[in-house]
Amino acid sequence: MNYVSTRGKNEKVFAAQAIKQGLAGNGGLFMPEELPSLSFDDLSAVCGMSYPEAAAKILSMFLTDYTYDELLSDCEIAYGSAGFPDGAVNVAALDERIKILELWHGPTCAFKDMALQIMPRLLSRALTKTDEKREALILVATSGDTGKAALEGYKNVPGIKIEVFYPETGVSKIQKKQMATQDGDNVRVCAIKGNFDDAQSGVKKIFSDSEFCEKLNEKGVFLSSANSINWGRLAPQIVYYVYGYCQMVKRGDIHMGDKIDVCVPTGNFGNIFAAFIAKKMGVPIDRLICASNSNNVLTDFLSTGTYNRLREFHPTISPSMDILISSNLERLLYLMAGCEATAEYMRELNEKGSYTVSESVKEKLDEHFKGYFCSEENTKKTIKEAFAQGYLCDLSLIHI
């Protein structure tokens, strides 16, 4: 399978190259040229699989330059009992109507573990597959969860170093401690003055600084990313939507073929975009509910068709969602509007701080997505209500 840039189709690479590179050459994001599909028979087969088996199956549909055996052996280690002693994912019932896909059973309790436990193994293989002799330096911008999960996934991986940038005042105390005390001889963390968007823009700037990259090259180093702009991070996230649906069938919550709505707390649009891909592949998902906090740029976008990042930034109690530039939205625009329109929208976003999608793109968005947001007060109230129903839905509360 070939990967192309969301901003133009000239560059075509295999998965290993896309994972090694992170961003496409023209600043766009890599997308598979076509999406594989899953029949109900395929889904029924997944119902009988372990998580590592399901992950290897789904990943092998996208990473066609990796063998199934390579992927299975990597997934067995990544999602095995060392990192996930209670199993990789669990479906819990909040009530009759609402089920929760628990993605926090990994080593750092962040759902990011689901991708970041496997991604270093995919990158390691990508270096071999592309005959890469240089060392990879992973740059990560984080508002908390990604940093710790990436450090934990990449620590002591040969041939790879990792440096994490986080906003000095934007991450929780636990996360700061998790990052500052990370073990491993190839890891480094750096606090920056500013918010997550500043960290992310800074990292993007380093990536596109060709003079700097040339200097690194002379030293035998190249840059790569572990943010969800990297396809190697996104692909593993598709798996748990497929697997989660099958778990619901197995539990008897639904019958095969019944449609479910999926509600995803959203920041950089990676997680919900993975759900959209699962839907496009054939998982019976009806509505994708994009849940934001008071940084509700996506809520406004989905209701009006205008994306406007020029607004006040609100630091909240859910900092992983405190994002005004949702990078992976570009992938959705690419699927709905094509590469030329996407390149134009991104140019406008960069130059004016906003863009408005065409009527036809807006209609396509409405067909699949609905955006809502939750105030700080409502977030707390909901966590409290769920707790009263017997469900603890914010692990960080254990530490407060």
Site residues (vs ligand PLP, CB under 6 A): 110-112, 145, 228, 265-271, 320-321
Q: Which tokens belong to 272?
A: 């919900």
CA-CA-CA-CA dihedral for 333, 339, 341, 345, to nearest 10? 60
- Concatenating the DSSP letter of every residue in 125-183 gives HHHHHTT--SEEEEEEE-SSHHHHHHHHHHTT-TTEEEEEEEETTTS-HHHHHHHHT--
Closest CA to 135 of 224, 24, 238, 259: 224
Active site residue 205: no
- Asked if 50 and 69 count as a contact pair (C-beta separation under 8 A), the reply is no
β-sheet bridge partners, residue 11: none
Nearest-angstrom CA–CA distance, 153 and 139 = 14
Smaller CB distance to ligand PLP: residue 43 or 236? 236
Q: Cβ 396 to ligand PLP, closest distance in Å?
A: 9
Q: Cβ 220 to ligand PLP, closest distance in Å?
A: 32
Which residue in the list 112, 148, 204, 362 is annotated as catalytic? 112
* Cβ neighbours for 82, distance < 8 A, ≥ 6 positions apart: none
- Asked if 119 and 236 count as a contact pair (C-beta separation under 8 A), the reply is yes
Smaller CB distance to ligand PLP: residue 134 or 173? 173
β-sheet bridge partners, residue 136: 160, 222
Q: Cβ 39 to ligand PLP, closest distance in Å?
A: 27
Smaller CB distance to ligand PLP: residue 123 or 150? 150
Helix (H, G, I), strand (E, B) or coil at 295: coil
Q: What is the CA radius of gyration of the chain?
A: 20
CA 394 distance to own-chain centroid:
19
Q: Cβ 167 to ligand PLP, closest distance in Å?
A: 14
Q: Which tokens belong to 15?
A: 């998965």
Q: Cβ 264 to ligand PLP, closest distance in Å?
A: 7
Q: Cβ 253 to ligand PLP, closest distance in Å?
A: 24
Element (H, E) at 244: helix 231-251
Catalytic residues: 112
